[in-house]
């Protein structure tokens, strides 16, 4: 419980600070271009890492289960330009059906 509140407080205050830093402190001075290039690559690097761990890890083990099938279906749906919401629903439904068939 207190751990959850620590996360809420730290992420909330941190995010507010990050969002406001430019408008409040910098005005219209730009960031150095090397910093901009690194920051621009943070989101792809972190999101891809989240894809990998959320699909193939269970605590400290690498696993291959129904989530992988859901991810494969999601990848096809994204390639076919399906809206994000449909992508997520298809992935969840795939995993749920596989588990239903396996149980």
Partner 1 sequence: MLSRMEPAPPIRFELRRGAVTALPLAVAVGLFGVSFGVLSASSGGMGALPAIVMSASTFAGSAQFAAASIVAGGGGAPAAIAAALLLNTRYLPIGVSVARFLPGGRLRRFAGAQLVVDESWAIASRGEGRFDPHRLVGAGVVLWLAWVGGTIAGVLGGEALGDPAALGLDAAFPALFLALVAPQLGSRPAIVAALLGAAIALALVPFTPPGVPIIAAASAALIGLVRR
Residue 73 burial by Cβ neighbours in a 10 Å radius (0-12, 13-18, 19+): middle
CB of 92 to partner 1, least distance (A): 4
Q: Does 57 bind partner 1 (CB under 8 A)?
A: yes
Residues with Cβ within 8 Å of 67's Cβ and at least 6 positions away in sequence, in order, are 54, 55, 56, 95
CB of 81 to partner 1, least distance (A): 10
Q: Does 102 bind partner 1 (CB under 8 A)?
A: no
Among 64, 85, 101, 102, which residue sits at the site for partner 1 (rule: CB under 8 A)? 85
Q: Does 76 bind partner 1 (CB under 8 A)?
A: no
Q: Does 37 bind partner 1 (CB under 8 A)?
A: yes
CB of 64 to partner 1, least distance (A): 12
Q: Does 28 bind partner 1 (CB under 8 A)?
A: yes
Three-state secondary structure readout of 22-57: HHHHHCCCCCCHHHHHHHHHHHHHHHHHHHHHHHHE
């Amino acid at each position: 419980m207190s751990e959850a509140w620590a996360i809420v407080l730290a992420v909330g205050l941190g995010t507010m600070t990050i969002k406001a830093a430019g408008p409040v402190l910098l005005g219209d001075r730009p960031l150095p271009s090397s910093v901009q290039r690194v920051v621009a690559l943070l989101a792809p690097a972190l999101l891809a890492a989240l894809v990998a761990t959320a699909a193939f890890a269970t605590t400290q083990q690498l696993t291959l289960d129904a989530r992988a099938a859901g991810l494969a279906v999601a990848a096809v749906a994204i390639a076919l330009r399906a809206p994000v919401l449909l992508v997520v629903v298809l992935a969840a439904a795939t995993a749920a059906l596989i588990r239903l068939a396996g149980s």
